[in-house]
Structures are given as C-alpha cells and as structure tokens.
C-alpha cells in the first residue's frame, strides 16, 4: 500500500460520530466500537491493525507486532478497569515489536504509543469530541489549525526538537501526549493522561544484563521478519546495521516463513579513506543467501539533491524534520527495495544511543566510582586530547536540570557559548548540549525559543536522576522521532521503516545496564558485540572504527549550493519573520571547513520545506511578515 498511513481514535457516542463525519473523507478503513459506532478510523495497509474482542471489550495493536486476533481476544478478556493504567499494560505484557496499544471498555478508550516516540499520540477536539491520532496533521486539518510559529522557531534550533521541547506540537490546538504517558478518553469525552512507562534503573552489571539484551534484540528482529516475504536492511559496514542483517538472516533461516528473503543496501562514500565499504563487503560475504545491492556512486543521489521535488505538497510528514537532506536518497531507496519486493526496511538507528556512553556519564562516575573514573578520564584524555582545566570545571558543575535550562535559554543567541560546558576542545558533561540558534535566525525567533526554554525550566524534570542515563534517554527520544519522520516518508512510497534497537523491550534491556559499563575504552560497543557474538562472525566483530562522511557532505553542498540558495531566495520562514534569508545565502555561499559550520542547515531546510507544504495542504494563504510578541517569552 502506498499513501499516508494514519489512524484516529474516536469515543463511543454521538460526538464521536460527528467527528467521524469530518475525518471520513480521507479515510479508507474503519473499526467499530461494540455499539457499531466508529472506534478507529484512518488508512492503513493489511496487517497493520490487529483487533481482539471479548464481549464489550476491545483491544487493538497498531503497528509491527506478531500477535493474532485470537491472542488479543484472550488478553482482552482479562481487562477489567480501563482507568487503571496497570490493568491495560498487563494485557500487553510479553508483546514485542513497535506499536500503539488501544483499548476500549464501556465507551471509554485508553491509548499509548512507544517509549522512544517512534509511535506517538496527539489529541484535539474535533466536532465537539476529544479525538486522538497518531499524526498531528490529520487533527490539524480536521480543526483548520495553523502551524505554531513559536514551535517552528524551535525547529530551527534542532529538528527533531530536543528534550524538553520535544513534547510540543507544531500545530495550534493540537496537543501531544508524552511518550511515557497514555491517554484516557472517557465516555463523556473528557481526556486525561497517566504514566504507562518508567525508564529502568541502570543497576545491572553488563554481563548480567547480556542475556536480556540478546533475547530482546532477537525478538525485535523476529517481529520484523514475522509473516514472511522480503525484508530489506541497510548494510553500511557499521556494527549496528551489520548486526541487524545477521539477526534477520538467522531468523529467516530458523523459522523459514513463506517467501522469506533478505535484501541489503549499501551506498558507497566518495571518500577513499572511508573503510565502511571494506567491512560491509566482509559482512556480505558471510550472507551468501541474501541479495546485496550496492548502487553505483554516480547513480546514488547526493545529500540535498532534487529539492524542487520536495517543495510541493507531496511531503507526507506531520512536523518538520531534517530528513529532507536525504529526500532524494529515500526515494531511491524505496524504488530499489520495493522493486525487489521488500515490505519493510531495517535500519540501525538507536544503536549508538543504547550501546555507547556519552560524556555526561563522567559527571556521575566521578561521584560514584572516583578511582575508576580517574582511570577512564586519563585514558580518554590521552586518546582524544581533552584539555584538563575545562574538563575539571565541567565535572565540578552542580547545576540542576532547571538551572541548566535557564542558562541555556539566557545564552541562546550568543555566537560563542559562554557556558563552561561547551568550551572548545572539552566534551560537555552537562545535562545536554547548549544548542545555539543558527546565525540566520531573527531576534524574534531567538526570543521565541528563549521563552519556550524558560517556560520549560519552571516545570521540566530530567528523564533520569543521573546525567548519563538522562542523556541516553534524551538521545533515544531524538532517534525515535527521527525514525518516525523517515517512516512517514517511506511508507507513503510503500516501504515501512523499522529500527529494532528502538523497540521498547530492547530499550529496557539495554538501559538497565550500568551506564559506565555500556562502553569500555579500547572496545567498541562491547555490550552489543557480545550480544550478537555467535550470530555475527568474529572477523566482522573485530571492527573498531566508524565511517566519517565530511567529504560526502562537502561534495553535496558544492553540487547543490545553487539550488539551496534559490530555495531560500523566496523563504516562507523569512516572510514569517523567523529567519533572515540574506544571512542564509551568506552562509551557503561562504567557506566552511567542517560540516559543523552548517550544522543547522538541515533543520532550517526541513522547516522551510515543511512550512510551505503544510500551508499548501491546509489551504491557508502564505505567511505575511509577523513579529512574535514580547509576551511570548
């Protein structure tokens, strides 16, 4: 099935029927409440929605999950109190994959997505009824909502949005449900949320946690291959994607589902020093029963190619995202893989987030294990040339999460960061990275984002008490929302995207391991390597390098610079008062020694193209120049 994949959840009552009338013109599929009124309404491919029923109880799993309707019906029979989050979650115990869970009892509905945000929920009042959906643009279209320009400004900072801004919806009048929360809509149409997921405490030694990581990864990949047919996967040569390829091949060999086949895709860097190709070829040699596709570099699109094709209303995403940099590549990937019969494409997103340690963990480690931390810091300083003074100042930093957010907000528009957490040459051990607005952001845009951060600082709490675990969780959420964007793009072309590392059971198993033990100086992703040992050949696991793509970045920018300049010559973000298009052109036409020199380009480009497409889809006129009011901060 090609086209947008989406669903809405309707309450059981006359108001729900009225909302269904508004939503039905774009829908192709319906699932009814026991009353016969519409419960689920939208468009989805065969097998995407599985429903179980027991009397007046309904349970639906929407997404990728190897469960049958009969199994769900048996689980539905155990559901007693839909107002109790734990009762609803009990019926989902043991389910694997990546999915939304929806339950209905006596007219009330409870629904939730996934911990990573790959599966999200939004809600809005449509025709008098509180309606939930997995895509915010479907609700926005139903209520005639316009984009929120404050949130658009934040997408210039980073896209997907960083925590704690990532639970803000870009559409006015549409609310996002936090990924850790479920949404309850009672029979009278009132909505409230309750927490369904709490991150694990990282108390396990890595060897003790290894069996659960191994089992969770196997189950996550099995959820992708279940049902047979052809699946495809990236084979970059890195440990993450390589592991998934071998796990998928092993699962197909073990279960022998009908028509099972694995197709891998590897694109070659133009940099002869990049050794990804060598390691990918080595891995492919151990997968003789799979088909390996390696496009000729002359036929594989560069980043930022074919921008004209993305500026209409064909961009099928409900919020801005940096995927537009890869738009032409995603189109070619879909063409190559669907042409070989693939129904699902696996990618390695989430591997870095779960099986690496980020510098903030050192802030925790020096307090819990000072002698071990000293040895680790000494080793890493020697290999990475960290300056001692700035590092010590960061390790001594005692700011709370709210204080850090406030400092971030206050320094948002400063060209060179004043915070010690970002001194050049030293890694940040703060609660996060003090991202800066791009040099082309207007003062109004900077003020709007500063206001959002200061608002968040008043109530936001870290995702975990320790900085290392908090950072890992924040990165998982960013990765999950990035995958969600890519899946919307490729699903519209008939090819769903899956990142098994971001499935809930894998996240829980990996993040239960002590943060400091997820990485060891001198070893690359030791937990993942040991989890797949015996499935991935030892000579493939010996790799300790990671491909670097600055050469490809510069070539893409050089080749597509004129098209980028032309795109921003008529910028809708500039009309809205959020960017200075002359400053964008100056940056594009300047000399940039590293990709970081234009690290904000993808977010700004994605926001620009999305804003144009979203305005076209809603039928609203283009933006007039605006000034964000002082009250916004």
Tracing tokens 């908090």 back to the chain, one arrives at 470
Neighbours of 570 (CB within 10 A): 13
Average pLDDT, integer, range 605-617: 86
The pTM of this model reads 0.94
Q: Which of 130, 179, 246 minimizes the C-alpha distance to 481?
A: 179
Q: Which of 395, 481, 419, 421 minimizes the C-alpha distance to 163?
A: 481
281-290 residue pLDDT tens: 999 999 999 9
Q: Give the single-character DSSP code of 93.
A: T
pLDDT score recorded for residue 422:
41
Percent of the chain with pLDDT over 90: 75
Alpha helices for 524-591 (secondary structure H): 526-531, 538-541, 550-569, 572-575, 581-589
pLDDT score recorded for residue 621:
46
Beta bridge partners of 232: 263, 345
Distance CA 4, CA 6 (A): 6
Distance CA 553, CA 551 (A): 5
Residue 333: phi and psi, rounded to 5, are -60, -45
Residue 497: phi and psi, rounded to 5, are -110, 140
pLDDT score recorded for residue 550:
80
Q: Which of 141, 140, 124 minimizes the C-alpha distance to 185?
A: 124
3-state secondary structure of 139: helix
Region of residue 256 (phi > 0: left; psi between -120 and 50: alpha; otherwise: beta): left
Lateral strand order in the sheet of 181-185 = 49-54, 57-64, 98-105, 108-112, 181-185, 191-195
Per the CB < 8 A criterion, the answer to whether 101 and 88 are in contact is yes
3-state secondary structure 287-325: CCCCEEECCCCCCCCCCCCCHHHHCCCCCCCCCCCHHHH
Per the CB < 8 A criterion, the answer to whether 477 and 178 are in contact is no
Average pLDDT, integer, range 238-247: 96
Tracing tokens 């907000």 back to the chain, one arrives at 409
pLDDT score recorded for residue 504:
98
Distance CA 121, CA 22 (A): 19
Neighbours of 421 (CB within 10 A): 26
Q: Which of these ranges, 12-16, 136-140, 192-196, 233-237, has the smallest mean pLDDT?
A: 12-16
Per-residue pLDDT for 246 more than 90?
yes
Is the omega angle on the peptide bond into residue 86 within 30 degrees of 0, that is, cis?
Answer: no
Helical (H) or strand (E) element with 192? strand 191-195
Neighbours of 599 (CB within 10 A): 14
pLDDT score recorded for residue 630:
44
Residue 255: phi and psi, rounded to 5, are -95, -20
Decide which of 9 and 524 is more confident.
Answer: 9
283-334 residue pLDDT tens: 999 999 999 999 988 889 999 998 877 775 555 799 998 888 889 999 999 9
pLDDT score recorded for residue 548:
77
Neighbours of 331 (CB within 10 A): 18
Tracing tokens 């925590």 back to the chain, one arrives at 163
142-195 residue pLDDT tens: 999 999 999 999 999 998 999 999 999 999 999 999 999 999 998 777 899 999
pLDDT score recorded for residue 237:
93
Average pLDDT, integer, range 425-432: 88
pLDDT score recorded for residue 4:
83
2-57 residue pLDDT tens: 568 999 999 998 889 999 999 999 999 999 999 999 999 999 999 999 999 999 99
Q: Which of 521, 428, 526, 423 minimizes the C-alpha distance to 470?
A: 428
> What tokens were used for 42?
């939208």
- pLDDT-derived band at 619 (thresholds 50, 70, 90) equals low
Per-residue pLDDT for 107 more than 70?
yes
Beta bridge partners of 184: 110, 192
Residue 344: phi and psi, rounded to 5, are -155, 140
3-state secondary structure of 282: helix
Average pLDDT, integer, range 464-488: 96
- pLDDT-derived band at 590 (thresholds 50, 70, 90) equals confident
Burial 52-75 (b: 16+ CB within 10 A, else e): bbbeebbbbbbbbbbbeeebbbeb
Distance CA 488, CA 496 (A): 8
Distance CA 207, CA 530 (A): 9
556-582 residue pLDDT tens: 888 999 999 999 998 999 999 999 999
pLDDT score recorded for residue 421:
40
Decide which of 239 and 554 is more confident.
Answer: 239
Residue 592: phi and psi, rounded to 5, are -125, 110
> What tokens were used for 604?
């700004």
pLDDT score recorded for residue 269:
86
Average pLDDT, integer, range 588-614: 79
Mean pLDDT for the chain? Answer: 90
Per-residue pLDDT for 633 more than 50?
no
Per-residue pLDDT for 373 more than 70?
yes
Per-residue pLDDT for 86 more than 80?
yes
pLDDT score recorded for residue 197:
97
C-alpha separations of 65 from 157, 210, 252, 523 in Å: 35, 23, 16, 34
> What tokens were used for 206?
């890595």
* Greatest distance between any 2 Cα atoms in the chain: 69
> What tokens were used for 422?
């970002």
- Going by their DSSP bridges, the two strands 98-105 and 57-64 should be labelled as antiparallel
pLDDT score recorded for residue 414:
55
Q: How many residues are present in the chain?
A: 633
Per the CB < 8 A criterion, the answer to whether 413 and 446 are in contact is yes
């Amino acid at each position: 099935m090609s086209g947008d994949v989406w669903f809405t959840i309707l309450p059981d009552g006359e108001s729900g029927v009225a909302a269904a009338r508004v939503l039905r013109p774009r829908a192709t599929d319906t699932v009814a409440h026991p009353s016969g009124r519409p419960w689920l309404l939208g468009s989805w491919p065969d097998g995407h929605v599985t429903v179980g029923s027991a009397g007046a109880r309904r349970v639906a799993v929407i997404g990728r999950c190897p469960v049958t309707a009969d199994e769900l019906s048996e689980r539905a029979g155990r559901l007693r109190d839909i107002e109790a989050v734990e009762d609803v979650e009990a019926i989902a115990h043991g389910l694997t994959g990546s999915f939304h869970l929806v339950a209905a009892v006596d007219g009330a509905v409870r629904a939730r997505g996934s911990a990573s945000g790959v599966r999200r929920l939004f809600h809005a009042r449509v025709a008098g009824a509180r309606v939930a959906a997995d895509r915010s643009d479907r609700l926005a279209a139903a209520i005639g909502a316009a984009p929120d320009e404050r949130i658009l400004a934040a997408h210039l900072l980073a896209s997907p949005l960083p925590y704690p801004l990532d639970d803000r919806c870009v559409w006015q009048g549409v609310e996002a449900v936090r990924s850790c929360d479920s949404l309850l809509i009672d029979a009278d149409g009132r909505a409230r949320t309750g927490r369904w997921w709490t991150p694990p405490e990282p108390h396990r030694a890595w060897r003790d946690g290894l069996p659960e990581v191994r089992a969770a990864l196997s189950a996550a990949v099995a959820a992708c291959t279940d049902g047979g047919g052809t699946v495809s996967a990236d084979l970059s040569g890195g440990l993450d994607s390589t592991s998934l390829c071998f796990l998928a091949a092993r699962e197909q060999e073990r279960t022998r589902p009908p028509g099972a086949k694995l197709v891998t895709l590897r694109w070659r860097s133009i940099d002869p020093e990049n050794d990804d190709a060598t390691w990918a070829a080595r891995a492919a040699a151990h997968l003789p029963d799979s088909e390996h596709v390696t496009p000729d570099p002359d036929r594989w699109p560069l980043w930022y190619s074919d921008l004209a094709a993305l500026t209409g209303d064909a961009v099928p995403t409900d919020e801005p995202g940096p995927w537009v940099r890869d738009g032409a590549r995603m189109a070619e990937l879909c063409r190559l893989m669907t042409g070989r019969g693939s129904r699902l494409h696996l990618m390695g997103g989430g591997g870095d987030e779960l099986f690496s340690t980020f510098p903030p963990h050192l802030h925790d480690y020096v307090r819990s294990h000072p002698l071990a931390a000293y040895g680790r810091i000494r080793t890493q300083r020697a290999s990475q040339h960290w300056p001692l003074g700035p590092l010590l100042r960061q390790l001594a930093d005692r700011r709370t999460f709210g204080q850090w957010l406030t400092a971030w907000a206050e320094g948002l528009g400063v060209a060179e960061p004043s915070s010690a957490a970002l001194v050049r040459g030293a890694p940040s051990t703060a609660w996060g990275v003090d991202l800066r607005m791009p040099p082309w952001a207007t003062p109004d845009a900077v003020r709007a984002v500063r206001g959002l951060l200061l608002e968040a600082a008043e109530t936001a709490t870290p995702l975990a008490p320790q900085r290392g675990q908090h950072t890992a969780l924040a990165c998982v959420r960013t990765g999950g929302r990035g995958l969600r964007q890519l899946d919307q793009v490729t699903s519209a072309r008939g090819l769903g995207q899956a990142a098994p590392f971001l499935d809930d059971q894998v996240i829980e198993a990996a993040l239960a391991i002590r943060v400091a033990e997820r990485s060891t100086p001198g070893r690359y992703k030791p937990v993942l390597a040991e989890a797949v040992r015996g499935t991935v050949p030892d000579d493939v696991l010996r790799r300790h390098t990671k491909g670097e793509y600055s050469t490809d970045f510069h070539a893409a920018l050089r080749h597509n610079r004129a098209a980028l300049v032309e795109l921003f010559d008529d910028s809708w973000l500039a009309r809205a008062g959020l960017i200075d298009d002359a400053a964008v052109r100056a940056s594009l036409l300047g000399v940039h020694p590293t990709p970081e020199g234009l690290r904000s380009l993808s977010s700004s480009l994605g926001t620009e193209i999305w804003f144009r497409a979203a305005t076209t889809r809603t039928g609203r006129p283009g933006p007039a120049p605006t000034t964000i009011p002082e009250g916004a901060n």
